[in-house]
Amino acid sequence: MPAEGDENYLTTAQVARRLRVKPETVYAYVSRGLLTSVRARGRRGSLFAAAEIERLASRSVEHSGAVEETESALTLLSGDELYYRGHSVRDLATSASPESVAHLLWTGELTDQPPFPIDRPSIDLARAAMGVLPPTARLTDKLRIAVAALGAADPLRFDLQPTAITTAARTLLGTLITALPGPTAAPHSSPGTRLWPKLATTAPSAQPPRPDLIDAVLILLADHGLAVSTVAARVAASARANLYAVVSAGLGALDGQYHGAAPTLAYEFLDRAKHDPLSALSDNLRAGTPVPGFGHKIYRTRDPRAETLFELLGDAPIMQVVQTITTRTKSFPNSDLALAALMHTHNLRPDAGEALFALARITGWTAHALEEYAAPALRFRAPGIYTGEPTSD
C-alpha cells in the first residue's frame, strides 16, 4: 500500500489535471475498469500508478473518450442571460463590432479589430463554387460549397496553431461575406454593410437600411454553448480536422430542421401572422405543433438575444404582431422570431435568417475548435451498447 507523496503514484486531483478531466470522470474511469485505484497508506483517498496514467494519457483511438461534460471558457448561460468570456452579449451587440467579438471569443481579449480581410483569389474561387449550384439553392447551400472549395485550395489548412487558425477564420469570414451573390460594398466596411445589399430584396421597404442590425445579429448568434452544431464542430476538431472541415461539420448539423431551419420556420409563421395573428396562432394550435419562434429549452422567462434585437428594431409595425402573439401564447419570443421580425421589417430574403445564423456561428465554431485543439485528441469516442444479433461463437 503506497503512501501519498510517493512519486510513483498520483492523487485523484493530479490524475484529473494530467488527463484534463474532472475528478468525477476519474472515478468513472475506475468504474469502467480503465484505471486501477489503490488506497493511500494512513490517509483517506485513492492513489493511481503514474505509469498507468501516462499510458492512458498517451492513448488516442483506444481512449474510451467518454465525455460526460465539456469544459469551456467561452460562453455562459446563467439566469436567462448570455455572456461571452464574462461580457454581456447585450452590451457587446450595441458597443462592439463582429470582428472585435470574434477576437474576444478566439483570444479572450476585447479590443478594436480591423474589418475581416478581403482576399480576391479566394473570393473568385468561392463565387465560382457557388455558381455551379442551381437557382433554387439557398444561401446556406452556397456557404457550404464555398467552404469546401476554399479548404481544398488552402495548402496550409493543416496548420492548427492558434495564430494560423484565427488568421484563416478571419479570411474565411471576410471571403464568405463578400462572395455571396449581390452588390459588393466597400472592402473596409462592416460585415453588416457588406451583407445588407446581398440580403435585401427588391421589394420596397418603409424602413431605411440598418446594417447595424446585421452586425448585432452576427454578435448575438456567434455562440450559444454546446448546441448540436457546435458539438459536431468540436468532434471534428477532436480528430484534428482542419478549420474548414470543422466549419463544414458545423454547417452540416446546422442544416437540420431542428436547428438552422428554425429562423425560416419563424419567418414563415410571422408571414402568416402579420396579416392575421390570431388565425396564424389558431392554425398551429389546431395542428398541435409548437408555435415557431417561442420558448426555449434553456431560457425560462426570456431570451436576451431576442430582447436586444427587439430593442434595436424599436417601434417597427411588426412589433405589434409580436406583442399580440406573445400575449396569447403566454410564452416568450426567442432569437428565431426576433430574426424573423428583422427580416419582415426590412424585406430581407426568406433565407437570410439561416445565412446570418450560419455566418455568425462560424465565429463560435472557430473558438470551440481552438479549445478542442488544446485538449486530448479523439476524446469524443463514446462507449456504444451493442443491441444486434448475438454472435455465432
pLDDT in tens, 356-378: 999 999 999 999 999 999 988 88
Any idea where the domains of the chain sit in the sequence?
9-58, 79-379
CATH of domain 9-58: 1.10.1660.10
- DSSP class per residue in 223-288: --SS-HHHHHHHHHHHTT--HHHHHHHHHHHHTSTTTTTHHHHHHHHHHHHTT-HHHHHHHHHHHT
- What distance separates the 2 farthest-apart alpha carbons in the chain? 81
Mean pLDDT, the chain, whole residue set? 90
Q: Which positions ≥6 away from 125 have C-beta within 8 Å?
A: 149, 150, 153
Segment 158-179 mean pLDDT: 97
Q: Which positions ≥6 away from 219 have C-beta within 8 Å?
A: 89, 92, 93, 96, 98, 101, 360
pLDDT tens digit sequence for 194-238: 999 999 987 767 688 999 999 999 999 999 999 999 999 999 999
Owner of C-alpha cell 463578400: 178
Question: 3-state DSSP call for residue 87?
Answer: strand
* More confidently predicted of 7 and 52: 52
User: Is domain 79-379 in CATH 3.30.230.10, yes or no?
Assistant: no
Segment 341-367 mean pLDDT: 97
Q: Which positions ≥6 away from 369 have C-beta within 8 Å?
A: 165, 233, 234, 236, 237, 243, 246
pLDDT value of residue 63:
44
DSSP label at residue 39? E
pLDDT above 70 coverage of the chain, percent: 91
Q: Which positions ≥6 away from 276 have C-beta within 8 Å?
A: none
Bridge partners of 9?
49
Q: How far is CA 163 from the centre of its chain?
A: 20
Owner of C-alpha cell 500508478: 49
